[in-house]
Structure 1
Amino acid sequence: MLQLADSLELERPQDKLIRRLCSTLESYMDQNQINDICRAYQYGAEAHAGQFRKSGEAYICHPIAVAISLAEMRMDAKGIMAALLHDVIEDTHASKDDLGRLFSMEVAELVDGVTKLSKIDSKSRAEAQAENVRKMFLAMTKDLRVIMVKLADRLHNMQTLGSMPPEKKRRIARETLDIYAPIANRLGMNHIRHQLESLGFKALYPGRHAVLKNAVKKARGNRREIVEIIQNSIKNRLREAGLECEVEGREKNLYSIYQKMLNKKISFADVFDVYAFRILCDQPDTCYRVLGVVHNLYNPVPGRFKDYIALSKANGYQSLHTILIGPYGVPIEIQIRTHEMHRMSESGIAAHWLYKSDSDKAESDKTEHAQARANEWLRELLEIHKSAGNSMEFIDNLKIDLYPQEVFVFTPQGGIIKLPRGATIVDFAYAVHTDIGNSCVSARVDKQLVPLQTQLENGLTVEVITTSWARPNPLWLNYVVTAKARSSIRAYLKNFKQQEAINLGRRLLEKELQGMNLQLDTIPSERVNKLLEVLSVNSMDVLLEDIGLGNKMPFLVAKRLSQDDISSTVRLDDNEQGINSPLIIKGTEGMVVTLAKCCRPIPGDSIVGFFNPGRGIVVHHHECRNSSDSRKKQTGWLDVEWSKDTSGEFPAEIRIELLNQRGTLATIAATISEMDSNIENVTVVDQDDRVSVDLITLTVKDRVHLANIMRRLKKLTIVLKITRVKA
């Protein structure tokens, strides 16, 4: 390939880039692989001929620059070929089949994974962006090289943002900081992550970047002497202890300084007073010996020591972190790790290719461990993807997963579970197993019973209590923080509602068929299949779900099933309607049968049901004013009755006029409590010096229970008038 570069006129930017790529590839690849890469370059150069970037340079310069970044990570030949071809499907006449035929399906799949979706029927740019990220992650779960190519692609795009319009520059920078930099962090690729963060920060907030950069430059000059004193002190003490280690000062990333100032609401001086040093050792045991030496040299800050060697981060990062109080009272941050840990912290999952040819078994084991962690994360993402309703929901769950600050808790058997900061018992339960999360009711933390919303802290032992009848509660979504818990709860509720709708739809249809002297199970399958075909429905379950959710009227479906000619239009006589026998409900059917909040019907009331498309049946009180218009539409409502064995507590609302005296509300609450009821809400409607008019929502078992409560309240001298609110 070098010969190819030599034969060109070395004046164009792409020619210089090709020479650089050739030189890097020849350091670790054989000639046959380089020849394949050469073919890919020639094809890409011909496909992009005549195309130019905003900066004015030939477009092919971009794929070559991406390939160089990957070659420096020692990416394999197929990955380099994909980098050189990563834009040909999107921006040229080339197709995936062409690449598969000319190179290999492996290369074609990699290129397709990075390619954006060109035609998306989306309502907004945000949805299109979300769909593209979702597509990339699906490809990434099959082959990690997809994200490697994409990160290198994004890095070069960020390096060449200068010629972009300001609005587009900010949008790309925001996407980089929100999605791609955290992905690089999650995969342990800190070298790329820091570059993406710095470039994204500079593009998104150029003014703030310039101010911070100048401040750091000034501070560096003023504090150089202190840094040298600390560094020499550490080196001398390590030498005295007989420990051969490298000590290097570490300048903080501008974006991390900005984030710390923003999150902790502190000034620049408070952040930059933390001097950062890194000590590199040969063995993990030496790291702990070094820790003892530096703790004897300077006093450690209590509570600021973290052992990421024994308990590594989710991305495989390992190191000891400690904060010390140095000379002049300045805090010093020190990271202690081995050389292998340092290389892993910089390369992360890229180390799988970087060390692929190394013979060192220890390093090979570490890279396999890093890849196993990455694959585990990708499996979790695939699970999240399957349960996400749409791309925007997937992106929300992804962002939750990309910003963890970890806590470590223990199972009763001594296993370690890593969770994000702020995680609750429910997050822990889903982290153990989805079935445990779906059936949890409470937990014991260090043998003490606690509620499910309890937030976990480091070192706690958690035992989840489950029951067979329990199921996820929609309220859990208000306090879970892990993407797995959130997506699992949503998936369960979605499937549960679907099953409820199918069951309700079957009851409604069978009720209507009963009035026509038919039964669903006895109707010939040919007639049912013909109906599904006419209604363009895939299965009977889908049809029953539509009926249960109110999207299709059960009487009309039953009428069609009763006709010999299924495809003919259903005609109703003026007086014709569904069967007169009412639908029996208990009020606890779940999400497809809901009680209207305007009139709050309770057992014992005369009730009527209305079909609300997408929600199922909404049950109103018979006297509710909101139902009068809907009842005129014969196909929009149905008679319902309470089941005789209905149990549970139901909300009811009363309007009460009270003497405006001290303690009246307390007296009302005490009386309601004595009557075995509970107050859910109190609203003051009107009030003057003499009278207070309040709306009270309370829980009752049935109409008789409510009547007894109201009769008891009327006997109180402070009550002037009491009525039930029915609309």
Structure 2
Amino acid sequence: MTYIPEGCNPQLKFEENIPTYPDLEEIVKQSTAHLPPEQQEFILKKVYPYACYWHQFQKPRINGKPYISHPVAVAQILAPFKLDVSSVAAAYLHDVHEDNEDKVSLDDIKNYFGTDIRNIVDGLTKIGKASARQRRDAVKAAVSEASVSLAASLQASLGINLFLGRSLAAPLTPAQLRERARQAKIDDKAASLTKLVTEMSKDIRVIIIKLADRLHNMRTLDGLRQDKQIRIAQETLNFFAPLATRLGMWPFKTELEDLCFFYLEPKQYAYLKEALAQERKRRYQGVSAALKAIKDALAEESIKAKVELRTKALYSVFAKMRRQHKTLGQIFDLDPISIVVDDKNTCYQVLRVIHQRFGFMQGKFRDYIANPKGNNYQALHTTIPGICSQPVEVQICTEDEEAENNLGVLNVFVSGRYNADIKSGEVNKLFRPLAPWLASLSHIKEGCKEDQDFLDVLCQDELSVGVVCLTPEGRSIELPQGSTPLDFAFKIHTHLGLRCTGAVVNDVEVSLTGYELRDNDVVLILAADKENPSRSWYSHCRTRQARSSISKWFFNHQTPEPNRSIGYKMICAELIRQGAAGAQTNAEIMRAIVKSLNFQSLDDLYIAVGSYRTPLASFVKCLKNYRENNPQKFENLDADPQRLRDVSLSIRIPQVPKARCFICRLCTPVFGDTIKAARDPKSKGYFIHREGCSALANSAEIREAEWISDIDPKLFMLRATILISALVCHGLSNSIISVFDNKNVLIYSYQFTNDYAKNVTNIRIEVGAASVDELEMLMDEIRSIDSVVTVDRA
């Protein structure tokens, strides 16, 4: 009987010269031994030869083996878990379309191997690999010449197809080209990972195969350059290992993490490996005694159980030490004792026996049977003081729970629960209780504007199997590591989060935003009748749900002005951090950023940032892109804007109508001062000086000037410099500054020196002043302060 997948064309024959690899063919036979004979023949006679043919045109792997050895290894990794024929076929074919886009289409895959296999291969295929490769090759060609002119001609020839689809008006330097290529790579990777997660939400087999693919790549990482090793290992540790953890795929999770640890921190890896071996040797006698004592105790109670030692993976030990700030000697579960029994009732019976015989350590008991972790991990955890004074962790579960704990989603295949007749789009229904979470991923994606935003949310919130807390009624609430009672409140209900005023954890009142929740914490939220969230909450929230609810409330419930004011301050502060202080006053820069973020006005941007609807990260990204393309716009941001402030509308030079006028920074005239105009040959305008300014002596052309009296001087607030001499006195600066604060006068700079030998303080203040009369009133108030001796204009 011949196996014919649904959707394929059985009449199609693939009759090409297929290369032969006897060693690999034997591995293929072993990897498909769990399949029925007709399906095994389908893999051996149709799928494997097809993959062999198309991969023969690729370069060998770094280790010198033919490329087909990689998909064969991926299928071999999956073999112990008895995946269905579509998954096995996709493991062999997962790179065929991606590496031969111009020759092998997804329709070809469907016609030869059916709809199900085609859909899995599509989910595993990276986005736009060919176009990304062309773009990077173009960049490399430009950079290798190290010529700006060549870069310009390259851009002219490729136009809008180069660099993220944006047409480039001005030539870029090689450094800028390299930065563009780097950003293109990042965006391609974000798009591909987002697609992978989206496809996983439809069919979990996609990510199972991808994790096997990544595991084999990590196993063969030693042949790559060190920078590539670090990049791939970091991506694996940040994304793929947490994903394996969330799906409960422990064999993949532990090996991926240990391999990442080896490449990312080789010295720490080598040291901890040796230290761990020594620590286990030191503990062996105590752990062995505890193991024997527990076996004897259960035998006396006539409880049938499998009792054995487990070994904690190297990276898990390292991560726990770092997360909990503990030494190796303070980690009690290096070799936990595992007890496996027939049913849940027996689990609690075993727990009672152990606590009665050996005691237990306070705060170390966790009931994950009643309150499973997010990846459906179920077991009882307790720590006993130890037979030889060394505490030992004990883990108790049933046989079914053990299989689920170790294999996660893979247990569906191993246990034979997978239904091969289920439709492709309904596969995830078999993977309860993960099915609702998988379905929710598409909704999370819809709420994120950028692929990178989605990945950030995924890694920070969804893939972080952190803590399981309880409501007073016993309801389990799962939250990421580092969550606060505020996150807990919003997880229960948005309305409760917006009304909360405090929290009680384990009968002790704690900080709503400062307490970090732990496993099995019982949390009671205190709430008011009305919603009244604080803006400070946003920075203390760990979960996306809480942050989103807070930002939505401030956007919908506050008038625009408070949000606009706070948004303006947040953007100004961020510009300082980015080394672009003052950019908010540059209309051209801000207009470009407003347009790129799709806002109608600058006020709309401030309101969106102030209400947290638009994250500052989006603003920073646009700022960096604009700065990269227009560096000249940022060159004079640090220059004093007062230096060439155009005050032509408030000053008249009778002999020179429509003359451009600028303020002298030496004498700093303000409205009402007697002034002179001195021609500046560089700007072809006139600098305005107070009468008697020393700079006038160096001017070749001096003319009379006057203030235009019908102009409101407040519209042309100018700076004035005040010089103060006073006796050294404690609190003098506070007294002087309060004079300006009480009048809402801006202070631009404040400098002082104390000469204790002469008992004199010299102060120089630059302030905003609308007129000379206002300035004189301020100076009179300062003169009235005790210990002030003289107050003059600079």
TM-score range, shorter-chain basis? Answer: 0.5 to 0.7
Question: How far off its partner does 1:88 sit?
Answer: 0.8
Residue 232 of structure 1, CA deviation: 0.9
- Residue aligned with 1:236, SS: helix
Match of 1:139 among 194, 199, 209: 199
| Letter of the structure 2 residue corresponding to residue 179 of structure 1 | F
Give the match for residue 512 of structure 1: none
Which of 464, 471, 483 is 1:403 aligned to?
Answer: 464
Output the CA distance in 2 between the equivalents of 1:630 and 1:33: 86
Q: Is the 8 A contact 2:383 2:394 kept in 1?
A: yes
Q: Does 1:443 find its partner at 2:501?
A: yes
Residues 421, 166 of structure 1: alpha-carbon distance in 2 compared, 3 angstrom cutoff:
closer
Q: What is aligned with 1:98?
A: 108
Retained in 1: the 8 A contact 2:482–2:542?
A: yes
**Partner Cα separation in structure 2 for residue 133 and residue 722 of structure 1:** 69
Equivalent-residue separation in structure 1 for 2:205 and 2:761 (angstroms):
73
Measured after TM superposition, the shift of residue 239 of structure 1 is: 0.7
Gap change, CA 1:97 and 1:694, over 3 Å in 2: farther
CA contact (8 A) 2:332 2:393 kept: no
1:459 match: 522
Listed as ranges, the matches of 1:301-700 within 5 Å are 301-357=361-417, 371-401=431-461, 402-410=463-471, 415-433=475-493, 440=498, 442-446=500-504, 453-455=513-515, 457=517, 458-463=521-526, 465=528, 473=535, 476-486=537-547, 547-549=600-602, 625=642, 628=645, 661-662=729-730, 685-688=751-754, 690-691=760-761
Q: Which amino acid aligns with 1:108?
A: R
Q: What do the CA deviations read for 1:137-187 (whole angstroms, capped 9, x no partner)?
A: 121122111111111111122222233333322322222222111111111
* Letter in structure 1 aligned against 2:52: A
The verdict on how the C-alpha distance between 1:714 and 1:239 changes in structure 2, with shifts beyond 3 A counting, is same
The structure 2 residue matched to 1:83, chosen from 82, 91, 101, is 91
Name the CA distance, whole Å, in 2 between partners of 1:223 and 1:387: 51
- For the pair shown, the structure with the greater C-alpha radius of gyration is 2
Letter in 2 for 1:105: T
**Unmatched runs of 5 consecutive residues or more in structure 1:** 360-366, 504-540, 552-586, 594-612, 614-623, 633-652, 698-705
Q: Equivalent residue of 1:461, what SS?
A: strand
| Structure 1 stretch displaced more, 245-254 or 75-84 | 75-84
Cα distance change on mapping 1:260 and 1:627 into 2, 3 Å = same
Match of residue 638 from structure 2? none
Q: Answer with 81-90 or 269-278: which moved more.
A: 269-278
Equivalent residue, structure 1, for 2:143 = none
Task: Compute the TM-score of the two structures, normalised by the length of structure 1.
Answer: 0.66
TM-score of the aligned structures, taking structure 2 as reference length: 0.61
Contact 2:503 2:512 in 1 (8 A): no
Residue 33 of structure 2 corresponds to residue 23 of structure 1: yes
Task: Give the direction of change, closer, same or farther, for the CA distance of 1:683–1:426 in structure 2 (3 Å limit).
Answer: farther
The aligned amino acid for 1:40 is: V
Distance 1:427 1:681 in 2: 41
SS at match of 1:228: helix
- Closer, same or farther: CA 460–101 of 1 in aligned 2, 3 Å: same
Matched, 1:45 2:52: yes
Deviations 1:313-349 (A, max 9, x none): 1111111112222133112111111111111111112
Out of 244, 249, 253, the position equivalent to 1:189 is 249
Deviation at 1:663, TM superposition (A): 5.2
Q: How many Å apart are 1:461 and its aligned residue? A: 1.3
**Residues 1:83 and 1:229: Cα distance change in structure 2 (over 3 Å):** same
Corresponding position: 1:717 with 2:717: no
Question: 2:601 is matched by which residue type in structure 1?
Answer: G
| CA distances 1:200-226 after superposition (whole Å, capped 9, x unpaired) | 223333444334334444454555443
Q: Which runs of 5+ in 2 are unaligned?
A: 4-17, 133-163, 165-180, 420-426, 565-593, 612-629, 631-640, 650-719, 768-773
1:251 is the counterpart of 2:251? no
CA distance in 1, matches of 2:400, 2:746: 60
State the shift of 1:34 in Å.
Answer: 5.5
Higher mean alpha-carbon deviation, 212-221 vs 314-323, is at 212-221
Q: Distance in 1 between matches of 2:404 and 2:782?
A: 76
- Partner AA of 1:278 in structure 2: S
Distance 2:544 2:226 in 1: 33
Task: Describe how 1:44-83 pairs up with structure 2 within 5 A.
Answer: 44-51=51-58, 52-83=60-91
Say yes or no: does 1:200 pair with 2:260: yes
How big is the shift at 1:20? 0.8
For 1:415 and 1:654, the matched residues in 2 are separated by: 66
Name the structure 2 match of 1:109: 119
Seen in structure 2, the aligned counterparts of structure 1 residues 466 and 47 have a Cα distance that, compared at 3 Å, is farther
Aligned-pair CA distance for 1:435 = 7.0
Pairwise CA distance, 1:265: 5.0
Give the conservation status (yes or no) of the 8 Å contact 1:276–1:332.
yes
Residue matched to 1:295: 355
Structure 1 match to 2:338: 278
Amino acid at match of 1:47: W
Q: Quote how far apart the aligned CAs of 1:710 are.
A: 7.9
Two-structure CA RMSD over aligned residues (Å): 5.1
AA at the equivalent of 1:382: S
Question: Cα distance 1:16–1:160, how it changes in 2: closer, same or farther (>3 A)?
Answer: farther
- Mark the CA change 1:370 to 1:426 in structure 2 (over 3 Å): closer, same or farther: farther
1:46 & 1:323 partners in 2: Cα distance? Answer: 56
Distance 1:70 1:588, change over 3 A: closer
